[in-house]
Amino acid sequence: MLYLQCIRFDIGGFPTIKFFPPGNKSVEAAEDYDGERTAEALIGFATERLEKYGFASISQIVSQSQLQENCIDKTVACILVFLPNIYDSSALSRNGYIKELSDVNCIF
């Protein structure tokens, strides 16, 4: 199921960053992040959208129902970050990514 979502949203590599504004969570509504992969550029990208739309708390989404509950049904910005599968890296590595995202969330 998640593989089909990757195809649907043209996710061909990791990390892939897409922004979904509040409302319709369609392929057409998704905004690709094509900026630099620096902390400054990513924070600037996120800050602009969060100031405009507000934001939801960070959740790890691993199913369609979680996506529905945490993003599609919300009226705030939803930023999805696709991380490597835990089997392709390690639990320590993946948890490190999640911690970094949580730390950035605390800034806002």
Which letter does DSSP use for residue 56 in this model? Answer: P
**Among candidate residues 16, 8, 3, the one with its CA nearest the CA of residue 80:** 16
pLDDT for the residue numbered 54: 73
Q: What is the pTM of this model?
A: 0.47
Helix (H, G, I), strand (E, B) or coil at 19: strand
Crossing angle of the two packed helices 39-53 and 91-107, in degrees rounded to 10 = 50
Positions of the chain with pLDDT lower than 70, given as ranges: 1, 55-59, 77-78, 104-108
Cross-strand partners of 32: 18
**Quick check: 46 and 104 in contact, CB under 8 A?**
yes
